[in-house]
Structure 1
Amino acid sequence: MPDHNVCIAVAKDHDRAAGLVKCLIDAGFDQKKISVVGKDHPEDEHVHGYVTTGESVAFWGKQGALWGGLFGALAGAGFLFIPGIGPLMVGGPLLSMIVGGLEGGAVLGGIEAVFAGMLHLGLTKDSLALYDTQLRDGCCLVILHGTAEEVVGGRDLLRGQVELLEVHAT
């Protein structure tokens, strides 16, 4: 990915993340430049999972309708089980970075291997640790990838809608 500029918004829950994605898309941001990472919540007794066939993705479980609608708008989707965090749903361009980090077997001083892929975004270990904590607490990350101008525009649009909103540029 040529642009390593990102705006990362921490949404308190899945519904808020979906609202932020809709806000970005409605404002004209390219949906192929939006990633979402969040925990699935398998505390209930329902089956959880997803199946992808080509461009079609089907989800089921407690949050299935939400994830299906959300990831239907994004480029790519994946379900990962990360020890210590649990099941994570990932959609958008971040997915290929995470898979690359997992394939490389990278583990960085206690930071989960899944976050190794995020280092390509120019994030520091401290930032990764912060986002790790947010995910463990049930929050979702909504990430806008793009040029410096695009991510600043995304930040300006989302300002006031979330408690934690940061721009990282390389």
Structure 2
Amino acid sequence: MDIKNSPAYIYNTHLEAEDAIRSLSKSGFDVKKLSLIGKGYHSEEQPIGFYTTGDRIRSWGGNGAFWGGIWGLLMAPAVFFLPGFGLLAMAGPVVTALVAALEGAMVVGGLSAIGAALSQIGVSDKQIIKYEMALKVDKYILMVHGNADDLAHAHSVLADAVAAT
């Protein structure tokens, strides 16, 4: 049975988030049960882009190598422009929740689109505010999905990482 309220870890940099994902992968955790959300870019002189070639996602720009590598591991990569957040890159089951929230006009009750998606997967209102604030200051949110054993496995791997739940 999958746990509806998925725990999330907040990372200050894309390197910290990538290290956490790679640690989970090396431990045998199914990385398809992870979601990652972050801005993944900063203003710079060079162009920023994301595109698909067949079944591969290609990207370039300041953190293009990071997102390209992460998208090779996680499922359902996507990029959205969301009011209040700007351009957000994400991958994993949270993408499906965001698309459902946008298509179903679930963005009600003062929630942002990302807040509606997080609510749909069982994140509490208090945690939604925390995660939205983290995204607004360019942090990365790594969410773990799955059953109780999956969550315990991920927690044991990430316990030593520089992250806060």
Give 1 or 2: higher strand fraction.
1
Give the Å deviation of 1:162.
Answer: 2.7
Structure 1 CA distance, aligned partners of 2:47 and 2:92? 24
Alignment of 1:73-88 (within 5 A): 73-88=73-88
Partner of 1:129: 129
Alignment of 1:1-170 (within 5 A): 3-165=3-165
Query: 1:33-77, CA deviations, whole angstroms, 9 ceiling, x for partnerless residues?
Result: 111100122411222221124431101111101100111111120
Are residues 54 and 6 of structure 1, via their aligned partners in 2, closer, same or farther at CA, if it must alter by over 3 Å? farther
Are residues 3 and 163 of structure 1, via their aligned partners in 2, closer, same or farther at CA, if it must alter by over 3 Å? closer
Farther off after superposition, 105-114 or 118-127: 105-114
Are residues 5 and 107 of structure 1, via their aligned partners in 2, closer, same or farther at CA, if it must alter by over 3 Å? closer
Give the Å deviation of 1:4.
Answer: 2.2
Are residues 5 and 53 of structure 1, via their aligned partners in 2, closer, same or farther at CA, if it must alter by over 3 Å? farther
Q: Name the SS for the 2:81 alignment partner.
A: strand
Q: Name the SS for the 1:146 alignment partner.
A: coil
Give the Å deviation of 1:2.
Answer: 5.2
State the number of aligned residues.
165
Structure 1 CA distance, aligned partners of 2:2 and 2:19? 27
Q: Name the SS for the 1:79 alignment partner.
A: strand
Q: Name the SS for the 1:126 alignment partner.
A: helix
Farther off after superposition, 86-95 or 150-159: 150-159
Give the Å deviation of 1:5.
Answer: 4.5
> 1:102–1:114: 8 Å Cα contact kept in structure 2?
no
Structure 2 CA distance, aligned partners of 1:131 and 1:54? 33
The answer for unaligned runs of 5 or more in structure 1 is 166-170
- The ranges of structure 1 where at least 4 consecutive aligned residues each deviate by more than 4 angstroms after the TM superposition are none
> 2:78–2:89: 8 Å Cα contact kept in structure 1?
yes
Q: Name the SS for the 1:6 alignment partner.
A: coil
